Amino acid sequence: MDAKLGTRPRDALGRLLAPASLAFVGGKEAEIALRGTLDLGFAGKIYAVHPTRDNLAGVPTVPTVADLPEVPEAAFIAIKREPSIEVVRQLAALGTAGVVVYASGFSEVGAEGEELQQELLNAAGDMTLIGPNCYGFVNYLDRLSPWPDIFSGGAAKRGVALVTQSGSMAGIWAFIGRRLPLGGIYTLGNQAQIGMAELLSHLADDPRVSAIGLHIEGLQDVPAFAEAAAKARRNRKPVIVLKTGRSELGAKTTRSHTNSLSGSDDLYNALFERYGIARVSTMSAFAETLTLLHHGGPVDGYNLLSMSCSGGEAALVADLTEAMKLTTPPFPDHSKDALAAALNAYVQLENPLDYHTFIWGQRGALTACYAGAMSGGFDAAMLLIDTPDGDDLDKSTWIPAINAIVDAAKQTGARAVVAVHLPEDMPADEEAVLVQNGIPVLRGLRDALDAIEAAADISANWRRADLPPLLREPTVSSRSPRQLTEAEAKERLAAAGLRVPRGQACSIAQAADAAEAIGFPVTLKVSSTSLAHKSDVGGLALNLQNRAQTEEAAERISQLGDELLVEKMIQGTVCELIVGLKRDPQFGLALVLGAGGVLTELLTDCATLILPTTSAEIERALSSLRIARLIDGYRGASGDREALIRAIEAIAAFAADNRDTIEELDVNPLLVLPPGHGVVAVDALLRIRED
């Protein structure tokens, strides 16, 4: 368990986020935050602290925190950085449970700021602290806003929670609070003490929170976040993430293909996928996905019904979903019969459905059409309808369609959503009718489809029987890494249960004799601790059939080194894979598998797994590769999938046994043979931290 989560009292963060009393310390920003808290209808006691003013937003002030009539349970401090430290020290001494520190100029500005941030933490002691360099939060559920800016929306009994490291991005979401069903907006700033893991863990336990949206720039404590994410999954609390910054964290020059295939962003994707966190890529998709999750939670599957009165719209849905996991399967016979009875004979009864405009403006006929289509057992039913807004436009003929989708959803019990192409094309009154009946309005077709797919991804993860393993704190030996010879690397892998070719390390003069002893055909390689990729420099000869070919190859390769490795040539290969290990400063060792051989970087067909892993995760990762089609029987040839899984598991076990010392590993290629013939590691690069 993470030290932060384990040593701090479980209710400490809750006392800060929903206190019985709240003090505001400062001038302009503190007054804005105090006024917002009053507007939300905070039921607790409110105090104001300012050395010269007599009130903040009408609340009488005292000059110092020492003059407060009682110890506030929480405080919002909006003064300069050095005075903030002293006020934090005073509040901690009084026994305040938690504070939000607004001031900037701490670790985000360099060494001087880092020293001040440590001083701030020392001053806080055991008191819970959010910030510094932090906008605070708006808690709509408990009616308080230690938040120095405007925000939209009012008190709520249930809603989505947004957590971000960016005050500016939080402010953008605060602007749309009247449409997005918000329960809270929480910013973290520098995360000097309370970070993403603590907020996620706390919100995962709150039954009033319908879904959680995380904006992540980077995680300070990956294992702690994994623990919180696992809790959210257990509690069936849907979580989505907008992860920014796809560049390498702690990037360094490496020798292996594995590191060139997989970067830190792939590790984040593996982390999110493991714990059922759906990732979106835009602010708009973030908002629409949270809206969908609030109204009904995750979507049961990927089978989508699309309805519109335009062939162009139907074709657009078909085009967009072609590259997605969403599918638009045909109607079952009973749905076709119902649609045929409701529609003109000219309508093609296909999904996506273009129902034409023959029944436009007729609530009963539209209801029969929608209900007939929605009776097909689809996981989500989407009505595309852009309704005119503005007093100068007559929208009366659109109202029957709005009412009809509500009627059809009630009749069928289907999961209904309404999507509009353009955000402006849905009047507030019509949206209110839909939302009151549990039908969310999703703005932008692409964002709507992304939201449905993300919600289905969460559901698919929750249905898995296997429990995702938690992460360990990354540890690494202080010794410098060294590269083993290929023969040494294979010896260690063979001891771990991986099959390698029969071979012998020898001198140039011994190569032909070794080849005859092993049996032709053979391969010949230079054996060196300095060459990472032998084929790139001519250090490899394949399929040598006799002594003369071996002697000629040995002479040629001798320019690169004095020691050679002679091995039995493996024949009958179905496909080549790469399986490797890479070390990341945040995640520790990770497992990478993908298409191998000389086309590794060209194809970039790979999957990354964080360790430890499970057989089920390995199976899913393998199935996600394009090259898996070769293993599973493309054009009649199939590979030994069971042996491949066992080999990957052996490498994962090898990683677990040597987690502190392995720097990187490439098994490339790992040859997959026909069923019953296994797999063979014919090349291996291993760098390990040993003397």
CATH of the domain at 580: 3.30.470.20
The answer for 550, left when phi > 0, alpha when psi is -120 to 50, beta otherwise, is alpha
- The one-letter amino acid code at 439 reads I
- Say yes or no: 105 and 204 in one domain: yes
In this structure, the answer to whether residues 161 and 49 fall within a common structural domain is yes
Tell which residue, 79, 78, 3, has the closest CA to residue 34.
78
Contact indicator for 310, 348 with CB cutoff of 8 Å: no
In terms of Cβ atoms closer than 10 Å to its own Cβ (0-12, 13-18, 19+), residue 28 is exposed
pLDDT per position as a tens digit, 550-579: 999 999 998 888 899 999 999 999 999 999
Residues 515 and 641 in one domain: no
pLDDT band at 178 (very low <50, low <70, confident <90, very high): low
Spatial distance between the Cα atoms of 369 and 341, rounded to a whole number of angstroms: 8
What is the distance between the alpha carbons of residues 320 and 421, in angstroms, rounded to a whole number? Answer: 13
Residues 556 and 581 in one domain: no
Question: Region 286-305: what's the mean pLDDT?
Answer: 97
Give the confidence band of 2 by pLDDT, cuts at 50, 70, 90.
Answer: very low
pLDDT of residue 252 exceeding 60: no
Average confidence (pLDDT) over 168-196: 89
Give the CATH number of the domain where residue 395 resides: 3.40.50.261
Would you call 507 helix, strand, or coil by DSSP? strand
- pLDDT given for residue 238 in this prediction: 98
The amino acid that residue 614 corresponds to is: T
Instruction: Report pLDDT for 60.
Output: 97
Question: Nearest CA to 187 among 207, 214, 160, 210?
Answer: 214
Q: How many CB atoms lie within 10 A of CB 337?
A: 14
Residue 289 confidence (pLDDT) above 50: yes
Dump the DSSP string for 140-198.
TTTTB---SS-------SSEEEEEES-HHHHHHHHHTTTTTTEEEEEE-TT-SSS-HHH
CA 193 to chain centre: 23
**Given this model, what pLDDT does residue 177 score?**
62
Whether residue 213 lies inside any domain: the answer is: yes
Residue 331: enclosing H or E segment and its boundaries? none
Residue from 559, 609, 617 nearest 588 by CA: 609
Give the per-residue pLDDT at 254.
40
Identity at 625, one-letter amino acid code: L
Classify burial at 6, counting beta carbons within 10 Å of its beta carbon; exposed 0-12, middle 13-18, buried 19 or more. exposed
State the pLDDT confidence band at 5, using cuts at 50, 70 and 90: very low
Determine phi and psi for 291, rounding to 5 degrees: -60, -45
C-alpha to C-alpha distance for 301 and 460, rounded to whole angstroms: 7
Q: Write down which residue in 462, 490, 523 finishes a domain.
A: 462
Q: Which residues contact 182 (CB under 8 A, 6 or more apart)?
A: 138, 140, 153, 156, 159, 160, 162, 173
Do 273 and 461 contact (CB within 8 A), yes or no? yes
pLDDT for the residue 304: 98
Q: What are phi and psi of 303, to 5 degrees?
A: -80, 115
- Mean pLDDT value across the chain: 92
The model's pLDDT over 352-367, given as tens digits with 9 standing for 90+, comes to 999 999 999 999 999 9
Residues 83 and 102 occupy one common structural domain? yes
Is 290 strand, coil or helix? helix
Query: Is 403 a member of any domain?
Result: yes
Residues 117 and 132 in one domain: yes
Among the candidates 568, 595, 615, a domain finishes at: 568
* The pLDDT value given to residue 561: 80
Q: Is the pLDDT reported for residue 76 higher than 90?
A: yes
Same domain, yes or no, for 155 and 191? yes
| Residue 254, in any domain of the structure | no
Instruction: Please report the pLDDT score of residue 263 as a whole number.
Output: 60
CATH number of the domain at 78, please. 3.40.50.720
For 424-441, write each residue's pLDDT tens digit.
Answer: 888 888 999 999 999 999
Which pair of structure tokens corresponds to residue 644? 């491949």
Q: Evaluate if residue 261 carries a pLDDT over 80.
A: no
Q: Which residues of 226-242 are buried (b: 16+ CB within 10 A; e: fewer)?
A: bbbbbbbbeeebbbbbb
Q: How far apart are CA 140 and CA 322, in angstroms?
A: 40
DSSP labels, 357-423? STTTT-HHHHHHHHHHHHTT--SEEEEE-----STTS--TTTHHHHHHHHHHHHHH---EEEEESST
The distance in angstroms from the start CA to the end CA of the chain is 32
What the block records as the tokens of 58 is 């009408």
Please check whether residues 512 and 429 belong to one and the same domain.
Answer: no
* Rounded-to-integer distance, Cα 337 and Cα 244, Å: 48
Q: Which domain holds residue 46?
A: 3-244
pLDDT at site 423: 84
**The domain spanning residue 536 has which CATH number?**
3.30.1490.20
Instruction: State yes or no: pLDDT of 601 exceeds 80.
Output: no
| pLDDT number for residue 515 | 96
Q: Residue 10 — pLDDT band, cuts 50, 70, 90? A: very low
482 token code pair: 């060294």
Asked if pLDDT for residue 256 goes beyond 80, the answer is no
Asked whether residue 370 is assigned to any structural domain, the reply reads: yes
Residue 483 forms part of a structural domain: no
Note whether 68 and 106 are same-domain residues.
yes
Whether residue 54 is predicted with pLDDT greater than 80 in this model: the reply is: yes
Which whole number is the average pLDDT over 30-45? 97
Q: How far apart are CA 463 and CA 314, in angstroms?
A: 31
Which residue bears the tokens 């957590």? 163
Q: Is the dihedral of CA 246, 250, 253, 255 positive or negative?
A: negative
**Are residues 646 and 676 located together in one domain of the fold?**
yes
Quote the CA–CA distance of 117 and 136 in Å, as a whole number. 17
Average pLDDT over residues 368-384: 97
**543 and 453 fall within a common domain:** no
Domain-located, residue 93: yes
CA distance 503 to 488: 12
pLDDT band at 532 (very low <50, low <70, confident <90, very high): low
> pLDDT tens digit string along 454-484?
999 999 999 998 888 888 888 888 899 999 9
Asked whether residue 440 is assigned to any structural domain, the reply reads yes
Q: pLDDT band for 218, please (50, 70, 90 cuts).
A: confident
Q: Is residue 485 part of a domain?
A: no
pLDDT surpasses 90 at 637 = no
Same domain, yes or no: 556 and 587: no
Quick one: pLDDT band at residue 245, thresholds 50, 70, 90? confident
Look at the chain and report how many structural domains it folds into: 4
**Cα–Cα distance between 650 and 648 in angstroms, integer?**
5
Last residue of one domain, picked from the residues 544, 568, 592: 568
Distance between CA 392 and CA 90 in Å, rounded?
A: 60
- Non-local (6+) Cβ contacts of 39 within 8 A are 145, 154
For the stretch 504-520, pLDDT in tens is 999 999 999 999 999 99
Which pLDDT does position 421 carry in this prediction?
94
The pLDDT of residue 599 is 67
